[in-house]
Structure 1
């Protein structure tokens, strides 16, 4: 059985160097010392702005020593072993059973070489096994790394190599393209046959890594964000206090497990003795079905990605709804809730590099707000915000500036990449010994001290809750033998924003086969990073300074795209013929914001997604068509969908 850890002061990991540390006193100065930031009067103004933005006296103080997440879960297993911990469609596991599974699996991980600051790769579907394996990685003293089971094997192999994870935990046979001679495979299907005691686990420290989450990288490859136990403990403590989480609460795990929101959904729940419900992935494509699922499971607290949360805000909620707090994040929130909803809405903002949530606020009802868009609020306790200009000096209240976030939630850095870490993480001049992260987001301080989100300060793209570095997508496109150069921009003029890729051929005289290029990049990129549309271009437009003119390419999105990924050529595709095809084409145009829809067009190639499929189903119902969102996935081409309805 896992032994409860007594809280102890943070100590530096053996591999800690000056440009990777964060906790007070554990590392030397980083590559960016305070010199060159605020000084003199500017420093005083920065500290005043920090106090005003944060609004909590505890934000400026060193955080209290907190119990680690695995300790808190183990405590509930000792006090209430019979309490349901995790519920899925196929099984219910109590706290006693969960800690027993995690302890046994942690023993196997330790034997395979897992220890302090060592990542453990988890290639598992959303399941009780995934929850117990991620807990086991922390119990073993390591850090969990969740691999997306839907991503191409080539990308997963690259993540394994980059992370140097010595162990891969799975419940499936490992294909040849993913197998590595230096990675031990632990199959959870054989757990009972290889159970192992783990009584002498090394006790993790607050400064140790607890999980690694990969995000898109501007240098052409993904980068692993290294999160420590103290940041996760602070997140959990804030969450439990703010939303009054306790045994008897029922919470959800609906986000993609490889998304950093997984930590926000799982650990505050299990560290507080509540019950976690694992939702099927199809629920994210049907707000009505999700609402029913929330009611059937008597969910009290739920996190949803912003677009899906906005869909649920439009629904009518029956009396007796148990949901009392709906948290959202991952994208810009565009609207306030109606005043008659039975639950409170909370907006969360935070890059992966600040342990999921950096700032938060309760969103006022639309009648009381008077705002065009909700704010992103103020920082969590023991974290703080700076709004700085291009010279990293504080901007006056009400003016736009780039947001820097400091405090206990700031990640250690990028795994094995001190160069990238030095580019984004800096010493905090207003908090000696602490560090801050440059978010790349533009914000403005409101008169009440909260912040408004204004957009990006760099080329990073926020799309459907994912942060995408165009450079990584462009690098994948350039690896195609028929492509000499490529640029990716965001087209957001229609009903749903989408990535558009411009490719320059290799100079052989023939234009690159766009469908072949599309197939090529899907082998190495996750689905949300694959451009929805590819266009051939003879030469990329340049600015007077000789740089690629991305704004010019974005302006070109106002003109119709000649071809989308996976669509047929214009000669092969023809206009809708039957009455049903013509009706569907008109509905697609309204939902997708496109001028022309042809018989062979794919709903998803034109920019559709699960939420837009749900909107299409609603519109179709108004015209007497019995159409569900799942039908669009089964028959994504217009003529196929029409035939299925006739």
Structure 2
């Protein structure tokens, strides 16, 4: 019998009967579904389940009837304001039930939704607004918009109860704006990991097809809950938000602070008991590291980045099932799906078969289809394809190409390498554009990462190339141990074992020349591994000058800042120094634990920026700065001085900022060089209460650095004062980055 409050685990497979034995052609090409569009699918439940909860967020609920009424009201308001059909409406809103109604209203009105991220840096938001040129900007947090941006409050759309607006909600104007399947539904900007962010234009037909196919494949039923954790600017958020609504279910929105904190997310799962949760591999790892025991009534969906076999095996043991999803933003949410069997997983996880309405091909030269078993570029076709990139016909033509042997058909070139198995399902083999050449040998970093994550002591790995004079000279492997590494000697032993494994499995050209340990991999705002940050830090490690044994300090560091620096005892020769920044003596004393943990490995300096400077120039980059609480803003000021004097930002580690202060506009380091470390309060078995002040600091520093969440090194007994274990972990972090 299931424990009280839990649904019993269902017997039998989650995959529909007979699907495993489908013939290969049916798996590769499934015809599109003839279905209504999203607004009609959602509106159905306003009459069939009017009083049932549709959306839940922070204790506030909307039933299906109220959601329908509010979305019609928002659509009528858009028409009254003169926004034309397919006019772009940018929305910057927090994770509330009202935001879901507003999004649905924009889609119902036939206008194009452009979601903005409240926690995104202002410069990115400005670029998105400039590129999308919206007809209207709606915001419930206008302070997050670039200065001078005109906006309309979100409440104005949902609270307009005027007689004229209520009539327009269902009157002739609404009928005149009836949706066409090929109208655009949303414009979503890519993360920029492959270049300047581009707006991907997705149609109502593509969105409705994916949602309906997912509802059929997953078996979601009226009343089922899905916990939505992804930010609005990431495409899978549309699946998480609207899938329950088209099936008569309930969307539960995780708060910003809950979505990236393993302890809080585990508590939310325990309170809400959803049937489905989709998360990136990194977020699933965070949840497991927080001690989440699992839920045998929960179906775990995982996508958005490479899923390791070990993670998949751990999740299948703790949940009702694990569904592996794959799909670029340009192919509408996802296009391949596979329910993984329980138990140990193969070295390469199957990505599965196409959903309804999607074609998938492994291609070779000239887009000719490769034979089964061969590796080539994965190309996707069918109704899932986006219209293209907004305002970029050249970029559209490069990626959305004519499908050979068809009249008017298109394929999207994903840039992902794949192999089609004999059973018709696909395996992913890394990125074609991540291949690098080292000493004349072509190397695929994903293959190296696969070997690294097979080590029993590691939970994650990322391999990045290091370039010298424009050419790739070596690889750096960033690896994450499953348990904290307490000492430098333990780290050396672990890495020695990793090197032995790599040497036994890979030829010399594929072996990383450098290794770094991190507690976890940093993520982008969209929850993917931040390869740009890791590459920047790897390049900094590679180019850092090595002090001589006679003088372990960086050249001229003391004379340059005499009067502002207090020298600690010298650390191990030949490694870069660390400069700690503290505002005031009290904060300087709080840094003693960090400094003591680092002194064994490198020179340590303590900088008090409130003291009058004697020097005319700041220290030369590269070096590391770490601020604690108020010292974070001081660290930015000193980093800006270094940039002004030497033309380069130093890598910057911000430790547990407690306030929203930051650098002046224009004096902000690139977020790829900013690592945000936060301490958690309480003991190891008690995550401690979250305060409004901490949540405000989280939001402010996410906007500042571009990080979706901090890198947590806690817990510690007294918030803000590191325990020995936490100090050692910070020392390991700085050792890896420096």
Matched, 1:187 2:154: yes
8 A contact 2:303–2:325 mirrored in 1: yes
- Secondary structure at the aligned position of 1:262 is classed as helix
Matched, 1:402 2:357: no
State how far apart, in whole Å, the 2-side matches of 1:98 and 1:390 are. 50
Matched, 1:68 2:37: yes
The match for 1:454 among 417, 429, 432 is 429
Matched, 1:643 2:721: yes
Q: Which runs of 5+ in 2 are unaligned?
A: 1-20, 436-444, 450-463, 482-523, 547-553, 555-564, 566-575, 582-589, 602-622, 628-651, 656-670, 699-708, 725-738
Partner of 2:305: 331
State how far apart, in whole Å, the 2-side matches of 1:489 and 1:69 are. 50
8 A contact 1:74–1:99 mirrored in 2: yes
Displacement of 1:250 in angstroms is: 0.9
Displacement of 1:59 in angstroms is: 5.9
State how far apart, in whole Å, the 1-side matches of 2:600 and 2:431 are. 34
State how far apart, in whole Å, the 2-side matches of 1:208 and 1:53 are. 33
1:16-48 CA-to-partner distances (Å, cap 9, x unmatched) read xxxxxxxxxxxxxxxxxxxxxxxxxxxxxxxxx
Q: Work out which of the two has the higher radius of gyration on C-alpha atoms and give 1 or 2.
A: 2
- Secondary structure at the aligned position of 1:134 is classed as helix
State how far apart, in whole Å, the 2-side matches of 1:489 and 1:222 are. 28
Displacement of 1:293 in angstroms is: 1.4
Matched, 1:81 2:50: yes
Partner of 1:572: 579
Displacement of 1:427 in angstroms is: 1.7
The match for 1:231 among 202, 206, 215 is 206
Displacement of 1:218 in angstroms is: 8.3
8 A contact 2:624–2:653 mirrored in 1: no
State how far apart, in whole Å, the 1-side matches of 2:220 and 2:531 are. 35
TM-score (norm 2): 0.60
Matched, 1:383 2:358: yes
8 A contact 1:317–1:342 mirrored in 2: no
1:416-450 CA-to-partner distances (Å, cap 9, x unmatched) read 21111101001222554321100011112234332
Task: Calculate the aligned-residue CA RMSD, in Å.
Answer: 4.8
Q: How is 1:198-213 mapped onto 2 (pairs within 5 angstroms)? A: 198-199=169-170, 200-201=173-174, 202-213=177-188
State how far apart, in whole Å, the 2-side matches of 1:218 and 1:322 are. 36
State how far apart, in whole Å, the 1-side matches of 2:221 and 2:329 are. 26
State how far apart, in whole Å, the 2-side matches of 1:188 and 1:130 are. 10
Displacement of 1:162 in angstroms is: 1.6
1:402-424 CA-to-partner distances (Å, cap 9, x unmatched) read 11111111111011211111010
Q: CA 1:91/1:215 → structure 2, altered by over 3 Å: closer, same or farther?
A: same
State how far apart, in whole Å, the 2-side matches of 1:450 and 1:404 are. 14
State how far apart, in whole Å, the 2-side matches of 1:488 and 1:530 are. 15
State how far apart, in whole Å, the 2-side matches of 1:309 and 1:67 are. 34
Q: CA 1:57/1:352 → structure 2, altered by over 3 Å: closer, same or farther?
A: same
Displacement of 1:400 in angstroms is: 1.7
TM-score (norm 1): 0.67
Matched, 1:57 2:26: yes
- Secondary structure at the aligned position of 2:35 is classed as coil
Q: CA 1:161/1:627 → structure 2, altered by over 3 Å: closer, same or farther?
A: closer
Q: CA 1:223/1:304 → structure 2, altered by over 3 Å: closer, same or farther?
A: same
Matched, 1:441 2:416: yes
Displacement of 1:350 in angstroms is: 0.6
- Secondary structure at the aligned position of 1:198 is classed as helix
Alignment: residue pair count: 510
Partner of 1:346: 323
8 A contact 2:577–2:624 mirrored in 1: no
State how far apart, in whole Å, the 2-side matches of 1:171 and 1:427 are. 42
Matched, 1:364 2:341: yes
Partner of 2:634: none
Partner of 1:35: none
Partner of 1:110: 79
- Secondary structure at the aligned position of 1:602 is classed as strand
State how far apart, in whole Å, the 1-side matches of 2:48 and 2:69 are. 14
Displacement of 1:638 in angstroms is: 13
The match for 1:162 among 121, 125, 131 is 131
- Secondary structure at the aligned position of 2:65 is classed as helix
- Secondary structure at the aligned position of 1:381 is classed as coil
Matched, 1:143 2:95: no
Q: How is 1:529-548 mapped onto 2 (pairs within 5 angstroms)? A: 531=533
8 A contact 1:243–1:325 mirrored in 2: no
State how far apart, in whole Å, the 1-side matches of 2:44 and 2:300 are. 27
